[in-house]
Structure 1
Amino acid sequence: MAPTAQYDTVIVGGGPAGLTAALALTRYRHRTLVVESPAPPRNAASRGVHGMIGLEGATPVEVRARAWAELDGYGLAERREATVEDLARADDGGFRAVMSDGTVAWSRTVLLATGVTDVLPEGVAGFAECWGRSVIHCPFCAGWENAERTWGLIADDPDYAALAADAFRAWSADVIALAPPGMDRAAEIRARLRGAGSDLVEGEITRLHHHDGDLYAVEFADGTRLARQTLLWSPPQRQVPLVARLAENLALALDEDGFVSVGPDKRTSVPGLYAAGDLTTAWEQGAMSAAGAGAAAADALHFARRA
């Protein structure tokens, strides 16, 4: 392995949380290493970032390029294209980050900003082409771009399916729920939705018909088709391998849903290890929320250093 380089903080992940933290830490005059995976980011399919003042509509690639242009102006943050394979406690209480390129970095503290991995459905033809365009996981992120279209809410929970009646009317007046066969309380939910001008359709989705990612119909296993232009589909999520490894080797605490447990200051259960962004929550995911969490983590890291 290459000789160990030393930093105040190693940030694992170069998305909104990690880069915001890097900028704040740089202005606190911390020497920081940002380790960013060479794989495409989770939001690679996004046409643009929304809700971040001054960055409206910028693509993920453009956001990262702007961030690094700003960081490079300070000269205290270093970027490395690699994955962190493991974190281990050093004898002096810091951390040794072992990376996929064979290098090792020592740091006083570490910020996990890896995000999570979406587990996309297998066996649904056309899903990948529509993902991030006309198949969206967040109406607040891409609802505007899909406004005034016919929507389908993918739901296997009856209470979530019931939201199709009115929760998304800001973007569409035609939203129906699509559920797997045999969903609990299906008859009750269908009657409720029909009474509100919506509906519940049960079936196993096997194909999405589209034109270059622009959905126009959903096909079920029995061959029937349903005309829809947008699907609100939130696939399951899992942590990146590093987080699972830390849960086993360093007793990093996860909550009952598998997200990293943190306090208000973004500290984890492991002293010196912080986490910010989507890996800590299922409900406040998005560029703006992640950036805010990254800023909060940077403040906590700085004041912990002074203590």
Structure 2
Amino acid sequence: MNNAAQYDTVIVGGGPAGLTAALALTRYRHRTLVAESPAAPRNAASRGVHGMIGLEGATPAEVRARAWAELDAYGLTERRDTTADDIAPAPEGGFRTMLGDGTQVWSRTVLLATGVIDIHPDVEGFAACWGRTVIHCPFCIGWENADRTWGLVADDADYAAMAATGFRAWSADVIAIAPPGMDRAEETQRALRAAGSDLVQGEITRLHHHDGDLYAVEMADGTLIDRQTLLWAPPQRQVPLVTRLTDTLGLALDDDGFVTVGADQQTSIPGLYAAGDLTTAWEQGAMNAAGAGARAADAVHFAHPA
């Protein structure tokens, strides 16, 4: 094997999915490597993780630090602060993972837990408000934005229609903001107005805020809409490694570009598993990712016991 370091499993990504899988595999006595990019994680803007029992309000950095303290106590999981640049089937079986530090490792299985990349719009003020008063998930920080005026940014009529009732747990004042030309816009606007909401169409060009605290949305025609919170889920793309694997190994994606997995979190490539946000558009979040990581670890162990 050309003296490549050998592991039972290589996990690419050190977020909730990857670290949960690492802990479970460690307790299954698998020798595991976690390759975690040194770049800022996708949830770096988050001020606290919510919904994870015992960790309520902990920052992502605090969660990672605690997870690694627990993993280090077992001594079977190694961490490398580097990217995984490529993965290829090994002639002798298993996989070779080429790391960004120039080394190569071999493992029987690989778990992709890379998350995805949010494609932020070119809107002034978006970055400052992101993760605070521009949110992609009401279940994540809806509580922190409760009792404020909300805007639901949507390009789909059915989703826009949810502004009338879908978010009442957090706000009694929610409108939809949609791009020009959205299908069934007039029908949706009538329905929203009848329910005490509204639909505004136009291009958002600027977010007015005080240190990330939104207070108005500016449209291309200069109109200002008083809003304190935007529910805005930007499009997403896969990390370069996943894109490469679709080209070189035929890794299957669904129609929306997410990695397809079975009930055991295994991808279309035997021995290659995936867990977390890279597999789903609608079940993203720390708890869902952690659960998927645990399922993947169970499947890896029972299919490939240490």
**TM-score, normalisation: structure 2:** 0.98
CA deviation map 1:45-84 (0-9, x unaligned): 0110000000000000000000000000000000001110
Quote the Cα distance in structure 1 between the aligned partners of 2:270 and 2:181: 46
Any residues of structure 2 matched to 1:156-167 within 5 Å, and which? 156-167=155-166
> What amino acid is aligned across from residue 288 of structure 1 in structure 2?
M
Confirm or deny: 8 A CA contact 1:3 1:103 kept in the other structure: no
Give unmatched runs, 5+ long, in structure 2. Answer: none
AA at the equivalent of 1:208: L
Cα deviation for residue 182 of structure 1 reads 2.1
* Corresponding residue for residue 282 of structure 1: 281
Give deviations 1:153-210, integer Å, cap 9, x for gaps: 0011111111100000000000000011222211111111111000001111000000
Aligned pairs for 1:28-177 within 5 A: 28-122=28-122, 124-177=123-176
CA RMSD, 1 decimal:
1.1
Rounded to whole Å, the distance in 1 between the matches of 2:208 and 2:303 is: 53
State the distance in 2 between where 1:3 and 1:151 align.
Answer: 57
Q: Which amino acid aligns with 1:193?
A: L
Check whether the contact 1:208–1:215 (CA below 8 A) recurs between aligned residues.
yes
**Cα distance in 2 between the residues matched to 1:92 and 1:288:** 36
2:293 equivalent in structure 1: 294
Distance in 1, Cα, partners of 2:204 & 2:246 = 35
Distance in 2, matches of 1:22 and 1:73, equals: 13
Q: Distance in 2 between matches of 1:261 and 1:182?
A: 32
Corresponding residue number in structure 2 for 1:260: 259
Aligned pairs for 1:130-279 (under 5 A) are 130-279=129-278
Residue 3 of structure 1: how far off its partner (Å): 5.0
Mapping of residues 6-25 of structure 1, within 5 Å: 6-25=6-25
Task: Name structure 1 gaps, 5 residues minimum.
Answer: none
Q: Secondary structure at the match of 2:304?
A: helix
Cα distance in 1, alignment partners of residues 85 and 166 from structure 2: 41
Report the TM-score when normalising by structure 1.
0.98
Percent of pairs with identical residues? 79
> CA–CA distance in 1 between the matches of 2:221 and 2:3?
60
Aligned pairs, number? 305
Letter aligned with residue 104 of structure 1: Q
Matched AA of 1:59: T
Kindly provide the amino acid, as one letter, of the partner of residue 165 in structure 1.
A
d(CA) in 2 for partners of 1:220, 1:269? 44
User: Structure 1 CA distance, aligned partners of 2:274 and 2:24?
Assistant: 15
Q: CA deviation at 1:226?
A: 0.6
Letter in 2 for 1:18: G
Distance 2:110 2:294 in 1: 14
How far apart are the structure 2 equivalents of 1:186 and 1:91? 56
